[in-house]
């Protein structure tokens, strides 16, 4: 559909239904969809492997899936005519924390991805809302929560459409209801 925004953000807590909602929106967009899985598949416990299996089975088989790629700006450039369903931003932030010493560098990398999308693509980004959690006691978790919150704010500021999903119910925070 021609009215689909260049950039949309779906926020929610763990198991809130945000991924399922994003999948519904991706189908409704009428655009070809590429699923971008940001969870690195190395060293996963059994519960996370099961969660990923459920996500894979739920997605339409026709959607190409990009896994184990953290260079989102290059993914956007490789699939310019598609809707990139990025699930999820917080896993991407966590992965980037492993090998990027500077928070500013991570946020700059995210900005490069958003620039690439706005230059001619479409992205639907799923992310965990971390701002309602208690302040973590350890430094690494505080860094993650702070950085994930900044990343969510950066995307939300540039997105034409932002939703908050609670118990499977989407609420539009910005843009037109979909």
Provide the residue ranges of all domains of the chain, joining segments of one domain with +: 7-172
Percent of the chain at pLDDT exceeding 90: 73
User: Which CATH superfamily does the domain covering 7-172 fall into?
Assistant: P-loop containing nucleotide triphosphate hydrolases (3.40.50.300)
| pLDDT per position as a tens digit, 86-119 | 999 999 999 999 888 899 999 999 999 999 999 9
Q: Which residue is associated with the tokens 């992965």?
A: 95
114-159 per-position pLDDT tens digit: 999 999 999 999 999 998 878 888 999 999 999 999 999 999 999 9
**Angstrom distances, CA of residue 89 to CA of 10, 96, 135, 144:** 10, 10, 20, 12
Q: Decide if 7 contacts 114 (C-beta within 8 A).
A: yes
Q: Any catalytic annotation for residue 55?
A: yes
Q: Given the residues 55, 73, 122, 161, select the one marked as catalytic.
A: 55
Mean pLDDT within 149-171: 97
Q: Where are the beta strands (DSSP E) in the chain?
A: 7-12, 33-37, 65-67, 83-87, 122-128, 161-166, 169-174
């Amino acid at each position: 559909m021609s009215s689909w925004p260049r950039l949309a953000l779906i926020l929610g807590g763990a198991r809130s239904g945000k991924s399922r909602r994003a999948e519904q929106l991706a189908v409704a967009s009428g655009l070809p969809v590429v699923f971008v899985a940001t969870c690195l598949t190395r060293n996963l416990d059994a519960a996370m492997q099961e969660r990923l299996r459920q996500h894979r089975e739920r997605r339409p088989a026709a959607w190409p899936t990009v896994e184990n790629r953290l260079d989102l700006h290059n993914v956007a450039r490789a699939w310019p005519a598609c809707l990139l369903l990025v699930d999820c931003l917080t896993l991407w932030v966590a992965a980037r924390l492993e090998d990027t010493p500077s928070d500013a560098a991570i946020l700059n990398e995210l900005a490069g991805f958003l620039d690439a999308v706005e230059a001619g693509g479409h992205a639907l980004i799923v992310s965990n809302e971390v701002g309602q959690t208690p302040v973590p006691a350890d430094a690494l978790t505080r860094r993650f929560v702070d950085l994930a919150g900044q990343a969510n704010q950066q995307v939300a500021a540039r997105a034409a459409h932002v939703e908050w999903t609670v118990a499977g119910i989407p609420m539009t925070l910005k843009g037109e209801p979909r």
